[in-house]
Amino acid sequence: MTTSGIEGLLIETHNWGKTVAFWQALGFVLQFETDHHSGQLQHPAGGPFLFVAERPADHELETYPVVAVDDADAFRQATPVSIDEPFVPQHWQRMEGFAYDPDGRRISLQAPLPAGVEAPARHG
């Protein structure tokens, strides 16, 4: 099994409000906001979602694609892709694992939670 393509981008920021305002000025609409300075935007014309997450000032910011996987247990990557961080349940009701591209950039692989697996309590 491979993937279903890029479904979103994670964009880390040091200023949630300014970053969301920037993307809204480009036509993106805030779909939901969490209570810990993160949330998801979508463009009315479609395309990948943007998940913006505020990080502390001393955190080195990352932006990486979120690639859809139908089933984390059945996922078998083709060479030269290797899962460097295995799939684990996340508080947003998805399984997440990470691969790295040839230049060392992280790629988030996300799949639905399997039946019987509970997501951990959310952070914050």
Question: Which class does domain 6-112 fall in?
Answer: alpha beta
Is pLDDT at 94 greater than 60 in this prediction? yes
Name the nearest CA neighbour of 35 among 117, 97, 109, 91: 91
What proportion of the chain, given as a percentage, has pLDDT over 90?
52
42 band by pLDDT with thresholds 50, 70 and 90: very high
Q: Kindly write down the DSSP assignment for every residue of 99-119, as one continuous string.
A: EE-TTS-EEEEEEEPPTTPPP
pLDDT confidence bin for 3, thresholds 50/70/90: confident
CA gap 117, 89 in Å, rounded: 8
Whole-angstrom Cα distance, residue 43 to residue 31? Answer: 10
Q: Domain residues of the chain, as ranges? A: 6-112
Cα separation values, 71 from 92, 110, 116, Å = 16, 9, 14
